[in-house]
Amino acid sequence: MFKHAVITPFLGQQRDRFSEYNEPKTLEQKLQTLRTIDGMTGAELVYPYEVNYDNLAELKLLLVKYDVKVACINVNVKVEKEFISGGLTSPDKAVRERAVSFIKEAKDYAEEVGADKVQCCPLSDGYEFSFQADYVETWQRLCETFGEAGDYKPHIPLFIEYKPNEVRGRCYLDNAAKTICLIKDIGNPNIGVTLDYGHSLYGDNNPAEELALLNSLDMKYYIHINDNDGKWDWDYFCGSRSLMQYIEFIYYLKKFNYQGWLTSDTSPTRWDIVKMFEANIRMTNRISSRIDTIGMETFGESLRKKEYMDIWADLESYFIKI
């Protein structure tokens, strides 16, 4: 079975443009909630707004008290005022340096709490309109800033999370292929890609295909799980809107023997927090178990059939019991 973690701010209060959902929680209350979720053992913590050096000692005690592993430190480089129009690609060198310092500090913090990676989603680095940016310059700045951050403490890999848009109308790193190009330009094998299932889906890509691309190019990758309708990053629970695509995604994770964390990046706004994350784990593990029962080789035989309707008939027999 897979190892399951959760991005811990989702265990507390959430906000969108119009409403607030759920009650605020302290760091301890979040970890308490995490341990009530059946099968959840890991946490992705957000630096520096949720965890930082002011609560480092407290966090270390809480991780032991609740027997929680740190799957990843998520470094936020969009909140500060100077980052709102792009931190890592800012024309101002001092702003870029500060954004890089956030990632370096997150690596220091990860080392302190026993995390083996940091991840960054550069959501404020993007644009909205034609002639708003010099694409050559911004690409070079991404290479320089992520390159410098990746070179720092290379034993703690940096994973870059791509996203089509939000908070910018279009993010510079909006798909797996472009993120791979960036990492290849940088030339650091200790920089990897965070594949968020929902970001791939609503970016009009196929999560399983992007996963296969990452694997075939021997890229490091880290996985966020959720679901949406292909139109927006709704962060629904797994399998709720794209079940067969999620089954295919899990099949390829198993085919590639993924040993890392599956981290729930799922937003329980109107729904019970514990029940939603348990649904993620339950759906994922049941699909994985069913694939084991069918057998990877049996699946392989189905995929080698030339007529797709024969493949679909196999899928019906494997997964549809009415």
Q: Give the span between the Cα atoms of 114 and 126, in whole angstroms.
A: 32
Sorted by where each starts, the structural domains of the chain and their CATH numbers stand as 1-317 (3.20.20.150)
User: For residue 248, which of 201, 199, 287, 294 has the smallest C-alpha distance?
Assistant: 287
3-state secondary structure 210-265: HHHHHHHCCCCEEEEECECCCCCCCCECCCCCCHHHHHHHHHHHHHCCCCCEEEEC
pLDDT value at residue 286: 97
Q: What's the average model confidence in pLDDT over 168-176?
A: 98
Threshold 0.95, pTM exceeds: yes
Q: Give the span between the Cα atoms of 108 and 156, in whole angstroms.
A: 9
Phi then psi for residue 192, to 5 deg, are -125, -170
> CA torsion, points 183, 185, 188, 190, in degrees to nearest 10?
0
Cα–Cα separations (whole angstroms), residue 73 to 162, 163, 223:
16, 18, 14
Tens-place pLDDT, residues 262-299: 999 999 999 999 999 999 999 999 999 999 999 999 99
Sign of the Cα pseudo-torsion (234, 229, 132, 175, in order)? positive
pLDDT value at residue 322: 83
Tens-place pLDDT, residues 47-57: 999 999 999 99
Bridge pairing between strands 20-21 and 14-15: antiparallel
Q: Decide if pLDDT at 259 tops 90.
A: yes
Neighbours of 272 (CB within 10 A): 11
> CA torsion, points 306, 309, 310, 313, in degrees to nearest 10?
150
Look up residue 187 and give its two tokens.
Answer: 């030339």
User: Where on the phi/psi map is residue 260: left (φ > 0), alpha (ψ -120 to 50), or beta?
Assistant: beta
Tens-place pLDDT, residues 214-223: 999 999 999 9
Tens-place pLDDT, residues 25-65: 999 999 999 999 999 999 999 999 999 999 999 999 999 99
Is the Cβ–Cβ distance between 175 and 162 less than 8 Å? yes
User: For residue 10, which of 270, 264, 294, 303 has the smallest C-alpha distance?
Assistant: 264
Q: Decide if pLDDT at 1 tops 90.
A: no
pLDDT value at residue 17: 84
Look up residue 309 and give its two tokens.
Answer: 């309707």
The continuous run of DSSP H or E covering 119 comes out as: strand 118-120
